[in-house]
Amino acid sequence: MIFCKASFLGFFLLFFTFLSSIYARPISYADSWTFMTYNNYDSHSSLVHYSPTSKYSIGYKFEYWQNKEYFLNSINLNYLVKRINKKHSQANLYFKSGLGIMSSNFEDYQDKNELAGHFEIATDWETRRYFVSYFSKAVKSKSIDSTYMQHARLGVAPYIAGYGKLHTWLMYELKHMPEMEKPIISGAILRLFKSTNMVELGIDQRKSLAFNFIKRF
Protein backbone atom coordinates (compact mmCIF):
# COMPACT_ATOMS: atom_id res chain seq x y z
CA MET A 1 0.00 0.00 0.00
CA ILE A 2 2.82 2.43 0.88
CA PHE A 3 4.57 1.60 -2.39
CA CYS A 4 1.38 2.28 -4.37
CA LYS A 5 0.83 5.62 -2.63
CA ALA A 6 4.44 6.68 -3.19
CA SER A 7 4.31 5.61 -6.84
CA PHE A 8 1.07 7.54 -7.32
CA LEU A 9 2.68 10.62 -5.74
CA GLY A 10 5.68 10.28 -8.02
CA PHE A 11 3.66 9.97 -11.21
CA PHE A 12 1.38 12.82 -10.14
CA LEU A 13 4.36 15.11 -9.63
CA LEU A 14 5.87 14.02 -12.94
CA PHE A 15 2.61 14.78 -14.77
CA PHE A 16 2.07 18.08 -12.95
CA THR A 17 5.53 19.46 -13.54
CA PHE A 18 5.55 18.43 -17.17
CA LEU A 19 2.31 20.30 -17.82
CA SER A 20 2.99 23.28 -15.67
CA SER A 21 13.69 23.88 -12.62
CA ILE A 22 16.04 23.20 -10.42
CA TYR A 23 19.38 24.95 -10.67
CA ALA A 24 21.02 21.50 -10.67
CA ARG A 25 20.05 20.77 -14.26
CA PRO A 26 21.87 17.92 -16.04
CA ILE A 27 22.53 20.13 -19.09
CA SER A 28 24.06 23.59 -19.07
CA TYR A 29 24.50 26.26 -21.73
CA ALA A 30 26.36 25.40 -24.95
CA ASP A 31 30.12 24.70 -24.75
CA SER A 32 30.24 24.54 -20.95
CA TRP A 33 31.45 22.16 -18.24
CA THR A 34 29.74 21.26 -14.97
CA PHE A 35 30.99 19.53 -11.83
CA MET A 36 28.45 18.07 -9.37
CA THR A 37 28.85 16.16 -6.13
CA TYR A 38 26.03 14.72 -3.98
CA ASN A 39 26.68 13.24 -0.55
CA ASN A 40 24.29 11.77 2.02
CA TYR A 41 23.98 8.79 4.36
CA ASP A 42 22.99 6.37 1.59
CA SER A 43 25.36 7.31 -1.22
CA HIS A 44 28.10 9.54 -2.57
CA SER A 45 28.45 10.58 -6.19
CA SER A 46 30.43 12.93 -8.40
CA LEU A 47 29.72 13.89 -12.00
CA VAL A 48 31.63 15.89 -14.58
CA HIS A 49 29.86 16.61 -17.86
CA TYR A 50 30.29 18.71 -20.99
CA SER A 51 27.39 20.31 -22.87
CA PRO A 52 28.17 20.75 -26.60
CA THR A 53 24.73 22.36 -26.98
CA SER A 54 21.91 23.30 -24.63
CA LYS A 55 20.06 20.09 -25.69
CA TYR A 56 22.40 17.39 -24.38
CA SER A 57 25.49 16.66 -22.29
CA ILE A 58 27.93 13.78 -21.94
CA GLY A 59 30.11 13.02 -18.95
CA TYR A 60 31.60 10.65 -16.39
CA LYS A 61 29.89 9.69 -13.11
CA PHE A 62 31.22 7.96 -10.01
CA GLU A 63 28.82 6.54 -7.39
CA TYR A 64 29.28 4.68 -4.10
CA TRP A 65 26.30 3.10 -2.30
CA GLN A 66 27.05 2.50 1.34
CA ASN A 67 24.48 -0.13 2.32
CA LYS A 68 25.44 -2.50 -0.52
CA GLU A 69 29.08 -1.45 -0.67
CA TYR A 70 29.34 -1.11 -4.42
CA PHE A 71 30.94 1.38 -6.79
CA LEU A 72 29.55 2.39 -10.17
CA ASN A 73 31.71 4.14 -12.76
CA SER A 74 29.75 5.12 -15.85
CA ILE A 75 29.63 7.26 -18.98
CA ASN A 76 26.49 9.39 -18.94
CA LEU A 77 24.33 10.92 -21.65
CA ASN A 78 21.69 13.49 -20.71
CA TYR A 79 19.09 14.82 -23.13
CA LEU A 80 16.64 17.73 -22.84
CA VAL A 81 13.38 16.34 -24.23
CA LYS A 82 11.19 19.39 -23.75
CA ARG A 83 11.48 22.91 -22.38
CA ILE A 84 8.50 25.21 -21.89
CA ASN A 85 9.36 28.87 -21.38
CA LYS A 86 6.68 31.28 -20.22
CA LYS A 87 6.85 34.85 -19.03
CA HIS A 88 7.30 33.98 -15.35
CA SER A 89 8.17 30.26 -15.34
CA GLN A 90 10.10 27.46 -16.99
CA ALA A 91 9.45 23.71 -17.15
CA ASN A 92 11.84 20.96 -18.30
CA LEU A 93 11.76 17.25 -19.06
CA TYR A 94 15.01 15.25 -19.25
CA PHE A 95 16.07 11.71 -20.09
CA LYS A 96 19.35 10.64 -18.47
CA SER A 97 21.21 7.38 -19.01
CA GLY A 98 24.52 5.76 -18.18
CA LEU A 99 26.53 2.62 -18.91
CA GLY A 100 29.56 1.44 -16.97
CA ILE A 101 31.13 -1.01 -14.55
CA MET A 102 29.73 -1.91 -11.13
CA SER A 103 32.23 -3.23 -8.58
CA SER A 104 31.58 -4.79 -5.16
CA ASN A 105 33.18 -6.66 -2.26
CA PHE A 106 29.87 -7.00 -0.43
CA GLU A 107 29.16 -10.44 1.10
CA ASP A 108 29.65 -13.01 -1.70
CA TYR A 109 30.71 -10.41 -4.28
CA GLN A 110 34.45 -10.52 -3.64
CA ASP A 111 36.18 -8.28 -6.19
CA LYS A 112 33.26 -8.73 -8.56
CA ASN A 113 32.93 -6.45 -11.59
CA GLU A 114 30.09 -6.47 -14.08
CA LEU A 115 28.39 -4.30 -16.67
CA ALA A 116 25.64 -2.04 -15.31
CA GLY A 117 23.31 0.59 -16.67
CA HIS A 118 20.97 3.20 -15.31
CA PHE A 119 18.13 5.26 -16.74
CA GLU A 120 16.42 8.30 -15.26
CA ILE A 121 13.49 10.56 -16.04
CA ALA A 122 13.66 14.01 -14.46
CA THR A 123 11.29 16.96 -14.64
CA ASP A 124 11.00 20.34 -12.96
CA TRP A 125 8.97 23.55 -12.95
CA GLU A 126 10.17 26.83 -11.51
CA THR A 127 9.34 30.48 -11.00
CA ARG A 128 11.45 32.99 -9.11
CA ARG A 129 9.46 32.15 -5.98
CA TYR A 130 8.39 28.48 -6.21
CA PHE A 131 9.54 25.23 -7.72
CA VAL A 132 8.64 21.55 -7.85
CA SER A 133 10.72 18.66 -9.18
CA TYR A 134 10.61 14.90 -9.56
CA PHE A 135 12.93 12.17 -10.78
CA SER A 136 12.68 8.43 -11.17
CA LYS A 137 15.76 6.23 -11.57
CA ALA A 138 16.37 2.55 -12.28
CA VAL A 139 19.76 0.80 -11.92
CA LYS A 140 20.40 -2.66 -13.37
CA SER A 141 23.31 -5.09 -13.28
CA LYS A 142 23.44 -8.85 -13.74
CA SER A 143 23.71 -9.84 -10.06
CA ILE A 144 25.19 -7.11 -7.82
CA ASP A 145 22.23 -4.76 -7.76
CA SER A 146 18.97 -3.94 -9.50
CA THR A 147 17.08 -1.13 -7.83
CA TYR A 148 14.57 1.65 -8.33
CA MET A 149 14.15 5.00 -6.58
CA GLN A 150 12.25 8.25 -6.90
CA HIS A 151 12.64 11.69 -5.35
CA ALA A 152 10.35 14.71 -5.23
CA ARG A 153 11.05 18.25 -4.04
CA LEU A 154 8.95 21.30 -3.25
CA GLY A 155 10.65 24.63 -2.65
CA VAL A 156 10.10 28.30 -1.94
CA ALA A 157 12.42 31.31 -2.08
CA PRO A 158 11.95 33.45 1.06
CA TYR A 159 13.04 36.52 -0.92
CA ILE A 160 13.56 37.42 -4.58
CA ALA A 161 17.23 38.08 -5.22
CA GLY A 162 18.55 40.22 -8.04
CA TYR A 163 20.97 39.12 -10.75
CA GLY A 164 24.40 38.30 -9.32
CA LYS A 165 23.11 38.25 -5.74
CA LEU A 166 22.89 35.37 -3.29
CA HIS A 167 19.76 33.25 -3.92
CA THR A 168 18.22 31.16 -1.14
CA TRP A 169 15.73 28.30 -1.36
CA LEU A 170 14.00 26.35 1.41
CA MET A 171 12.99 22.87 0.27
CA TYR A 172 11.09 19.81 1.40
CA GLU A 173 12.28 16.51 -0.09
CA LEU A 174 10.57 13.12 -0.21
CA LYS A 175 12.54 10.01 -1.20
CA HIS A 176 11.19 6.58 -2.03
CA MET A 177 13.73 3.73 -2.10
CA PRO A 178 11.85 0.39 -1.74
CA GLU A 179 14.88 -1.69 -0.76
CA MET A 180 15.87 0.44 2.21
CA GLU A 181 14.93 -0.33 5.82
CA LYS A 182 12.84 2.84 5.76
CA PRO A 183 11.56 3.01 2.17
CA ILE A 184 10.11 6.52 2.46
CA ILE A 185 12.29 9.29 3.90
CA SER A 186 11.53 13.00 4.15
CA GLY A 187 13.91 15.84 4.81
CA ALA A 188 14.65 19.57 4.66
CA ILE A 189 17.22 21.26 2.44
CA LEU A 190 18.74 24.73 2.40
CA ARG A 191 19.98 25.72 -1.06
CA LEU A 192 22.29 28.69 -1.66
CA PHE A 193 23.56 29.75 -5.04
CA LYS A 194 25.31 32.71 -6.57
CA SER A 195 26.65 33.08 -10.09
CA THR A 196 27.80 29.58 -11.18
CA ASN A 197 28.16 28.07 -7.69
CA MET A 198 25.57 26.19 -5.67
CA VAL A 199 25.64 24.58 -2.22
CA GLU A 200 22.94 22.47 -0.55
CA LEU A 201 22.83 21.50 3.12
CA GLY A 202 20.21 19.02 4.26
CA ILE A 203 18.96 16.84 7.08
CA ASP A 204 16.38 14.05 6.94
CA GLN A 205 14.10 12.37 9.49
CA ARG A 206 16.90 9.93 10.41
CA LYS A 207 18.99 13.00 11.38
CA SER A 208 21.36 12.12 8.55
CA LEU A 209 23.14 15.04 6.91
CA ALA A 210 23.53 15.84 3.21
CA PHE A 211 25.98 18.07 1.33
CA ASN A 212 25.74 18.86 -2.37
CA PHE A 213 27.87 21.19 -4.49
CA ILE A 214 27.69 22.29 -8.13
CA LYS A 215 30.10 24.41 -10.14
CA ARG A 216 29.61 25.45 -13.77
CA PHE A 217 32.48 26.58 -16.00
What pLDDT is stored for residue 103 in this prediction? 93
Q: What is the 3-state secondary structure (H, E, C) of 83-125?
A: EEECCCCEEEEEEEEEEEEEEECCCCCCCEEEEEEEEEEEEEE
What pLDDT is stored for residue 113 in this prediction? 92
The pTM of this model reads 0.82
Closest CA relative to residue 19, chosen from 66, 63, 64, 82: 82
What pLDDT is stored for residue 25 in this prediction? 64
Q: Going from the first residue of the chain to its last (217 residues), give the mean pLDDT of each consecutive group of 10, the final group possibly shorter.
A: 45 39 64 94 94 94 89 96 94 96 82 93 95 95 90 96 91 92 93 93 95 94
Q: Give the whole-angstrom CA distance, residue 81 versus residue 17.
A: 14
Tens of pLDDT, residues 168-189 = 999 999 999 988 888 999 999 9
Superfamily of domain 2-216: monomeric porin ompg (2.40.160.40)
- The ranges assigned to domains in the chain are 2-216
What pLDDT is stored for residue 24 in this prediction? 57
What pLDDT is stored for residue 72 in this prediction? 95
